[in-house]
Structure 1
Amino acid sequence: MNDPSGGGRGGYTPPAGHDALRVDYRHCRRIAAAHGRTYHLATRLLSADRRPAVHALYAFARTVDDIVDDPRRPDHSPHNAVAALDTVESRLRAAWSRPTLAPPSPAPGAELPLEFDRVVPPLTDTVTRFAIESRHFWTFLDSMRMDIPGSPLFRNRYPTMAALHEYMRGSAAAIGLQLLPVLGTVCPLTEAEPAAAALGNAFQLTNFLRDIGEDLDRDRIYLPAADLAAFGVDEDLLATGRRTGRTDRRLRRALAHLIAINRDLYRGAQPGIDMLNPRVRPAIRTAAVLYAAILDRIEDSGYAVFAQRAVVPRRARLRLAAGAVLGS
């Protein structure tokens, strides 16, 4: 079994003398609890020794996402966001090098939020403990660069599902591949990687379907143009829906089609859950069930993606989580 955690029942405790690291891990846990309700509920089903590592990975991804998208950051601009991501990568490469390199000074405008300094130690500890390949983090950062105007990688429209998958390779699949060594497998890691990537993509596509309106506000469309056009949907129709809060019947049909594709991704990822360490299967199965339930909420609302954000109520989340655990 590929389980590098040690499996201790008492939970993970950083080495003696690392009080600051413990505090930083708690900071990562607060980020996960505040911003990823579904994600955080699922992680509570993980063993205590794995939970902090998952929180560290989530906090890193969230912090980077805020660097790209949060206009409240001082000196926020596309140029500064690109420079900040370059600084993030340089900082991580320095922290993970052997021997350790001194982290470079950021260029003007590329200063990182204070949260990043608190996330790096737990992230580095997690990467070291679980031997997570650094390339998954570089792939993730490249995907984030695709969201920034002015970056050579920038893209805010996706003509085909294949093009969208190229984006999700970094924004979603890479996250699944980062998590896989933490979760542990009952087979060689490489055998479980395709399913882990597929589940990450399934989660991401659900987000895109739920957040169409918010993404339009940022001049982004994360749904493939060819699939939308097959049902008569173009950018003007999407803009009208965002302005009026109404979902045109053509868009309802397109969303039904894309939800079917999304559910197929979840189905394709299911066999991979059985490749995981038995102790973590209930948590991952719960995460999949809870996220897939967002698709049900979109359908139940009549595809009212512009009028409301599809949210699974807390009572329903707890019920679905219990059902997933009992079915594991």
Structure 2
Amino acid sequence: MPDADLAAAYRACRLINAEHGRTYYLATRLLPPRRRPAVHALYGFARLADEVVDDPGPDPAAALAALEDDLATALRGDGGHPVLVALADTVRRYGIDPGLFGTFLKSMRMDLTVTDYPDLDALAEYTHGSASVIGLMMLPVLGTVGPRADAEPAAAALGEAFQLTNFLRDVGEDLDRGRLYLPADHLAAFGVDRERLLATRAVGGDRSVRRAIAHLVAHTRAVYRAAVPGIGLLDPVARPCVATAARLYAGILDEIERADHDVLTRRAVVPVRRRLAVAGPGLARVLAARVRRPVPAPGA
């Protein structure tokens, strides 16, 4: 493939990331420039799959199957959608396990038939494929200071923490799509179920719902606490990016708390000024890391 075509494919991924994942995109700016395109490609692929399940056409199952076939074609080096072309190059360049993408798509297929989860164990099956494997895909791009396997549990946990944060932020939107990702047994402990959430979405002001959300926020913070120490296992030049992403996503939980855990009549968003305040120190740290140890560019 001509270099110009590959560059255009990566550029398409970057634009998708910048438009649809602003928090994630801001954190990628702290990576060394030559590692950013791979992260954009991974994001672009996840976005392609999300669009199939969140804005389904007449046959979303067939669309997901077609995406999986197209991915296999791209991984063979036979071209295809620009995002898949960039992704295939990233997989080859960094030695990412192609099987992780099958695991991811398995969870995407769950979205077509599963509308709620009875408990955290059932939800974990979904989040492993939808989020934890994203952390595992990222590890070869970020680099580690020791064996990659040592960093994998924390990387998987951080992906889960990001996903759980999204679930809390997007409860209302997910209900509109007929889905509920909050575990039913945890909600039931506070007398909350899908019907009560829907009623609260309409009128607001349900203290039991807010207590249930507060409980799940605390659970999500515990997942962050388990994951964040693993950042120290990453290549020093990648740590500011991941640490900043963790702080920005955890900031969504802060905004949920500031709103008294009302996630049904409003959407928690980290203000731009706070995002920049978090990213600024990260930029200083990454520049210092580059001065201490320049990072060799990956192969062309």
**TM-score (normalised: structure 2):** 0.92
1:61 aligns with 2:33: no
**Correspondent of 2:16 among 31, 40, 48:** 31
Tell me how far apart the structure 2 counterparts of residues 259 and 324 of structure 1 sit (CA, whole Å): 25
1:161 — aligned with what?
120
Structure number with the higher helix fraction is 2
Among 63, 66, 73, the residue aligned to 1:84: 63
CA distance in 2, matches of 1:95, 1:231: 48
Determine the structure 1 residue equivalent to 2:252.
294
Runs of 5+ consecutive residues of structure 2 not aligned to the other structure = 287-300
One-letter identity of the residue aligned with 1:137? F
Q: Aligned pair count?
A: 286
Other-structure match for 1:170 = 129
2:147 is matched with 188
CA offset digits 1:198-252 (Å, max 9, x no partner): 00000000000011111110111000000000011112210101112x1411111
Corresponding letter in the other structure for 2:166: N
Q: For the structure 1 residues 21 and 326, does the alpha-carbon distance in structure 2 shift closer, same or farther, using more than 3 Å as the test?
A: closer
1:96 and 2:54 aligned: no
- Contact preservation (8 Å) 1:231, 1:250: yes
Letter matched to residue 308 of structure 1: R
* Cα distance, 1:187 vs structure 2: 1.2
CA distance in 2, matches of 1:119, 1:66: 13
Match of 2:111 in 1: 147
Rounded Cα–Cα distance in structure 1 between residues aligned with 2:144 and 2:284: 21
Match of residue 3 from structure 2 = 18
Q: Which residue of 1 aligns with 2:234?
A: 276
Matches of 1:160 and 1:212 in 2, distance apart?
16
1:131 corresponding residue in structure 2: 95
Is contact 1:247-1:306 (8 Å) kept?
no
What's the % identity of the aligned pairs? 55
Q: CA deviation at 1:95?
A: 2.9
CA RMSD of aligned residues (A): 1.6
Mapped partners of 1:275, 1:326: distance in 2: 20
Match of 1:9 in 2: none
SS at match of 2:81: helix
- Counterpart in the other structure of 1:112: none
Tell me, what secondary structure is at the counterpart of 1:155? coil
Q: CA deviation at 1:42?
A: 0.1
Is the Cα–Cα contact under 8 Å of residues 30 and 282 in structure 2 kept in the other structure? no
The CA distance in 2 between the partners of 1:295 and 1:95, in whole Å, is 38
For 1:204-243, what aligned pairs fall within 5 Å after superposition? 204-243=163-202
Q: Return 5+ residue gaps in structure 1 as ranges.
A: 1-14, 104-115, 149-153
**Structure 1 326/262 Cα, relative in aligned 2: closer, same or farther at 3 Å?**
farther
TM-score (norm 1): 0.84
Residue 308 (str. 1) matches residue 274 (str. 2): no
Query: Do 1:195 and 1:269's aligned partners in 2 also have CA atoms closer than 8 Å?
Result: yes
Partner of 2:162: 203
Contact 1:60 / 1:119 at 8 angstroms: preserved in 2? yes
Deviations 1:165-211 (A, max 9, x none): 11001110011111111000111111111100000000000000011
Q: Write the distance in 2 (CA, Å) between the matches of 1:122 and 1:324.
A: 27
Counterpart CA distance in 1 for 2:28 and 2:271 is 18
Q: Distance between the aligned counterparts of 1:276 and 1:24, measured in 2?
A: 27
Contact 1:147/1:155 (CA < 8 Å) preserved in 2? yes
**2:209 paired with 1:251:** yes
Residue 179 of structure 1 is matched in structure 2 by 138
The SS at the match of 2:127 is helix
Distance apart, 1:321 and its partner CA: 2.1
2-structure distance, mates of 1:51, 1:279: 12
Report deviation, 1:326. Answer: 5.8
Corresponding letter in the other structure for 1:240: A
Confirm or deny: 8 A CA contact 1:212 1:306 kept in the other structure.
yes
